[in-house]
């Protein structure tokens, strides 16, 4: 009897394995790349927005290559120590003070123009790619503000405005998401899905009154969109655990 049961189990397992292999979809290189891109853009939305000083939509209006002071003369490439991007702010979607954090920054509005400074050296920061913006490009930007010590180091080491303020992308390149620019022919072009999701999440979290914030997040948590539902629930937990 035991032998018969074992044989039946092995037969069923073999059939299930064969069906799984037959139904398995082989992904193309483009599909794999798209899945990776979707995860980079749509994953951990609450965590990434809460970690950002500001989340904005902006146009990259200027790119400057910055030399390191005292660099030895040689090839032009050898002297380039960083890239300075000037971004004209089109819309501010999130501010960090809207989020329930233990230590919040002082309330402050983002300027009409912000600067991202991206050091080239060291060439690799962990496994993260660095920020790169094309002049004239429109972007959704998750911006972090390095501490004052880092700001002062950059200002002393590079030819940067001592009165300036310099941002980085949250998780470097992950904080820079290209958007489609409106045109006369297409004033409302289709945008990456992440833009609408971040806008909805930030509108709920940005409610000034705590009870209104909880109500808005509860409503968002009923969304049929699984990503919005997950991120709203995470935001809701953070609000409920934060001191009133």
Query: Which among 219, 203, 204, 225 has a CA at the least distance from the CA of 92?
Result: 203
Q: Per-residue pLDDT tens for 192-242?
A: 999 999 999 999 999 989 999 999 999 999 999 999 999 999 999 999 988
Residues 6+ apart with CB under 8 A from 223: 229, 232
Report yes or no: 169 and 116 within 8 Å, Cβ to Cβ.
yes
Domain assignment present for residue 120? The answer is: yes
Looking at every residue in the chain, the average pLDDT score rounds to 83
CATH of the domain at 119: 2.40.50
CA–CA distance, 133 with 156 (Å, rounded to integer)? 24
CA 201 from chain centre, in angstroms, equals 14
Q: What's the structural domain count of the chain?
A: 1
128 located within any domain: yes
Q: pLDDT per residue over 76-99, tens digit each? A: 456 788 999 999 999 999 999 888
pLDDT one-digit tens code per residue, 135-189: 999 999 999 999 999 999 999 988 899 999 999 999 999 999 999 999 999 999 9
Structure tokens at 243: 């001191």
- N-term to C-term CA, the chain: 66
Task: With respect to residue 91, please indicate whether it lies within any of the assigned structural domains.
Answer: yes
Could you tell me if residue 65 is inside a domain? Answer: yes
> Model pTM greater than 0.85?
no
Domain encompassing residue 69? 38-182
């Amino acid at each position: 009897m035991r032998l018969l049961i074992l044989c039946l189990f092995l037969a069923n397992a073999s059939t299930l394995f064969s069906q799984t292999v037959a139904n398995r979809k082989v992904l193309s290189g483009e599909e794999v790349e798209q899945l990776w891109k979707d995860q980079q853009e749509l994953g951990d939305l609450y965590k990434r927005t809460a970690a950002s000083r500001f989340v904005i939509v902006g146009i990259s209006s200027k790119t400057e290559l910055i030399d390191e002071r005292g660099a030895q003369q040689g090839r032009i490439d050898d002297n380039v120590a960083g890239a300075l991007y000037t971004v004209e702010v089109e819309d501010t979607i999130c501010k960090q003070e809207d989020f329930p954090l233990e230590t919040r920054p002082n309330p402050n509005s983002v300027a009409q123009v912000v600067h991202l400074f991206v050091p080239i050296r060291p060439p690799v920061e962990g496994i993260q790619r660095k920020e790169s913006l094309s002049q004239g490009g429109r972007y959704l930007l998750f911006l972090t503000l390095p501490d004052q010590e880092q700001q002062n180091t950059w200002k002393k080491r590079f030819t940067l405005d001592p009165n300036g303020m310099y941002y980085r992308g949250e998780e470097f390149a992950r904080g820079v998401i290209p958007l489609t620019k409106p045109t006369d022919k297409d004033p409302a072009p289709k945008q990456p899905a992440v833009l609408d999701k971040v806008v909805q999440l930030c509108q709920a979290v940005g409610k000034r009154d705590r009870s209104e914030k909880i109500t808005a997040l509860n409503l968002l948590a009923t969304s049929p969109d699984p990503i919005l539902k997950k991120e709203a629930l995470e935001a809701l937990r953070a609000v409920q655990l934060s001191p009133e």
